Structure 1
């Protein structure tokens, strides 16, 4: 009889209203907080683009200053991506264990410090070492994307995350514009110092963005997660769900073997293939653009082969130290081709949201392969620039989609690690691209284009056969769906 009297109380406790972080994010909706989040975290892309693209506009100057050969100039870019590759995994593991915000903040301090030191490099060796350290710091900027992803309601992720490409484009165009003014006047060292300023400014405004509530709740800190959600609701002038914040605690966070779990093994392997493909194509297109445009290569109407318009340039290429500073026209060409990265953004957003992540990625990778092969068609210089413009548009769209898919497909305890390792492996493609675009392309133009296109086709097939479509799917908090986890918790009560 005593047991029967206590039973209604137990049922009442079990039926108490509860909600998860995902449900709170959806209930609060989109508002002023998310606009601030988009502007601050999106601006990390400005800093990253400026630091990565800096090498492209500084290389001709340091080549002349230190009398460098081609392989020495290429080594700078390779080492930047090597540093990025190594530290990306480390930062991914640390972010899943100690928090996204902390790692993002630390990576900006690290990157800004070594970027400023680069401007005082006394020799080529020091320059390579310090830029490698900058690459290590830049790899942590991906945590800004994860924070944005974990705070955005489901229906807004497919729209807001691709718009982040605007910030990367802004950074790329900004460093090109600054280089055209600073390099010929006060020198590349001041360009490096100016390029570090956006990152330093961002450090000061990071305090307005809280730690991810999904991360806090995944490590058992429901109090901090609830305080963050309440603050966001107040800022958005919205309301919180009724009840108590309840979510399972996963103490096993940031483990490499979780990515190899049978549930995610096939997805992980195919994601890695796609990341390698996209990075290989992206930096291959950038380097190929430099090879084709800076040397003013056009198709001969008679022989159907590529010829050099100026003989003095050809003589320069044969010299051990090819000292050729960018002319204003070179900066203009770089500017135009870079603008292509935003050209397909509206269509990319529509494809991601209506066709889904997999099909959209398949289409853009396939189009990348087609336009790579079209480069072999004999055309005018204007036509060549047009092909390169479209190529930059498609390779940028590829990056947009795979970033979103990777951040959505993994659960919270392994999201930063999954994105970190993917970003690390993709740097292998970036490190390989120079040998194809600058070495093989000079030996066999068609052979290099076919290799780039073939890799893109492999990536397109991998994207089409991905086992999970994340369009419209709520972010996962663990190895089970959040609904199942809540039912399990209530049953255990």
Structure 2
């Protein structure tokens, strides 16, 4: 039989043991670093531009002086939902986003010429519908380009970059509008939106019909049937 002193000694040794401390900061740093791995750095940077362009143009086109007598946001989101649901499978994620970005540029281009107020309102209405559609498709596409291990981080960081665009917009573009430089403001919006459309076309893969994966490497080739 074990003596009472043996029990006390074993209990004391147990109490002296320190709990294992897990440094979550290192795992978070490694997860963030994966976004800049050779396989993910290109889609990550392109996604940042798309999120930035979406938020910048969305909140800029919603400004009360630029979007005169615009409909409410709820009315704008409804056609955006319908268009995104229709085009996302017909044109794919990349096709639907790039098409809406470039259509938005066309609507804004027509605003460079003096138009009746009713036509101006219609063009702005259509431009914001296009941006609303790209916003919705971007949030569908973003989780699909990342593997499971970094999906939350990748989408979260991209969304944060978009919020930066939303914060910068009132300081830059809306400031031009208040300074009676509406043409310069439209040109700025066109540049940001066009750049976002080009970045969408540069994405290395289309995820339409793909399942979420744990791999950082996407297969871009099709499987040939063997007779």
Shorter-normalised TM-score: what interval?
Answer: 0.7 to 0.9
- In structure 2, the partner of 1:259 is 35
- Is contact 1:366-1:460 (8 Å) kept? yes
CA separation of 1:335 and 1:261: change in aligned 2, threshold 3 A: same
1:344 to partner: Cα distance: 4.1
User: 2:194 matched to 1:457?
Assistant: yes
- Say which of 365, 371, 380 aligns to 2:107: 371
State the Cα deviation string for residues 448-475 of structure 1 (Å, max 9, x = none).
1011101111111110110021111110
Q: What is the count of residue pairs matched by the alignment?
A: 191
SS in 2 for 1:263: coil
Cα RMSD after superposing both structures: 2.1
Q: TM-score, normalised by structure 1?
A: 0.37
User: 2:12 matched to 1:276?
Assistant: no
- In structure 2, the partner of 1:445 is 182
State the Cα deviation string for residues 185-216 of structure 1 (Å, max 9, x = none).
xxxxxxxxxxxxxxxxxxxxxxxxxxxxxxxx
- Say which of 117, 129, 145 aligns to 1:409: 145
Higher relative contact order (CA 8 A, sep 6+): 2
User: 2:204 matched to 1:467?
Assistant: yes
Unaligned runs of 5+ in 2: 1-23, 219-227
What does 1:372-411 correspond to in 2, within 5 Å? 372-411=108-147
CA distance in 2, matches of 1:480, 1:273: 22
| Structure 1 or 2: more helix by fraction | 1
What does 1:292-331 correspond to in 2, within 5 Å? 292=66
- In structure 1, the partner of 2:86 is 350
1:284 to partner: Cα distance: 0.9
CA distance in 2, matches of 1:444, 1:400: 30
1:337 to partner: Cα distance: 6.3
What does 1:155-304 correspond to in 2, within 5 Å? 255-287=31-63, 290-292=64-66
- In structure 2, the partner of 1:222 is none
CA distance in 1, matches of 2:113, 2:100: 21
CA separation of 1:480 and 1:390: change in aligned 2, threshold 3 A: closer
1:338 to partner: Cα distance: 4.9
Q: TM-score, normalised by structure 2?
A: 0.77
CA distance in 2, matches of 1:456, 1:292: 16
